[in-house]
Structure 1
Amino acid sequence: MMEERYPYKPKLLAAIVTVVFFGVLAGFMGFFSLDNDQGLVLNGIIHFSRMGATIFYWVITFVLAAFSVLGLLLIFKSLTSKGELIITDQYVRAPKSGISKKIITVPFNDVEKVSVQEVKGTVFFKIIHRKGKLTIVSSVLPKREDFEHVKKHILAHVRC
């Protein structure tokens, strides 16, 4: 029986860029929030007082900081995860998501539907099966060619 294995975890460089990018933006917005002394008008429709604008800026700061913290989680998962995607002639086995510890095994006989969706260069290969859904994400595999190979292999073995 044929079996191929691919590392399936977040990319370290992308996680580092996420932390730096959102961290810098959060720092900038935090400084702006501390130094705010005027109101804010958004698109001429929404008017904030000085206090309302400051609260708005702090909310944006915390949202950006949360994305930076998410990047830290991705760095941790990238360094510690042993996740892998396995394909054989009978099934595909992968973590439920790029950061999940839960492993999903989908026998090709259980596949009911497959679909492909692309969002800003990242391709999502969705496999709907009897027990749920497994989504294989191109950005979590080492190379785009690996993703294309996995996708073609699965499509060649499913009957939907």
Structure 2
Amino acid sequence: MDVIEKRYPYKPRLFSSIFVVLFFGVFAGFMGYFSYQNDSGLVLNGIVEMSTTGATVFYWLITVLFVAFSALGVLLAIKSVQSKAELVLTDEYVRAPKSGISKKIITVPFNDVEKVSVQAVKGTVFLNIFHRKGKFTIVSSVLPNMADFDEVKKHIMDRVRC
């Protein structure tokens, strides 16, 4: 008997990655300019007072943070274009990268599944699969669309015995 596989691309979405680059890049540019031009101190919530130098250092730290997030977006965009990662479903198991950017592939036989839960956080849905060797999470934002996520979720829920 042949094993029938359903395959879904499982990688970061290019549009989201580009949005991250642009969003944090704009703020990094703004904060960099603001840091460079700073000539006054800073009072945070009336509690923390900083001199001009302290405020400038604080602004530069925020700039670096925004640059780091923008760089992360670049890495996600590269991964989105280059990755050939897939989520594979059969009647016996689910196999996918440990995360949307990981190269490590996890295979979870449905017989090993002890519990399945669904969690939603700000529009992203997580399918948490607890199995004998640990936990594996399928994230809706790394599949092409929500319909594919719902299909994957239904397929798994129909086959687990918990």
Report the TM range for the smaller structure's normalisation: over 0.9
- Distance, in Å, in 1 between the alignment partners of 2:161 and 2:59 is 52
Superposed displacement of residue 2, structure 1: 2.9
Query: Residue type of the partner of 2:70?
Result: S
Deviations 1:17-76 (A, max 9, x none): 110110110011011001111111111111111111111111110111000000010011
- Name which of 125, 128, 141 aligns with 1:126: 128
Partner of 1:115: 117
- Distance, in Å, in 2 between the alignment partners of 1:22 and 1:78 is 18
Partner of 2:12: 10
Superposed displacement of residue 97, structure 1: 0.3
Matched residue SS, 1:9: coil
Superposed displacement of residue 112, structure 1: 1.4
Partner of 2:68: 66
Query: Residue type of the partner of 1:124?
Result: F
Identity %: 69
Matched residue SS, 2:18: helix
Superposed displacement of residue 117, structure 1: 1.1
Partner of 2:78: 76
Which runs of structure 2 are paired with 1:140-159 in the superposition (5 Å)? 140-159=142-161
- Name which of 116, 136, 139 aligns with 1:137: 139
TM score, norm. by length of structure 2: 0.96
Superposed displacement of residue 134, structure 1: 1.1
- Distance, in Å, in 1 between the alignment partners of 2:28 and 2:66 is 5
- Name which of 54, 57, 62 aligns with 1:55: 57
- Distance, in Å, in 2 between the alignment partners of 1:59 and 1:53 is 10
TM score, norm. by length of structure 1: 0.97
Deviations 1:83-113 (A, max 9, x none): 0001111100000000001100000011112
> What value does the CA root-mean-square deviation take over the aligned residues?
0.8
Runs of 4+ in 1 over 6 A off after TM superposition: none
Between the two proteins, the alignment pairs up a number of residues equal to 160
Unaligned runs of at least 5 residues, structure 2: none
Partner of 1:21: 23
- Distance, in Å, in 2 between the alignment partners of 1:98 and 1:45 is 41
Matched residue SS, 1:104: strand
Matched residue SS, 1:105: strand
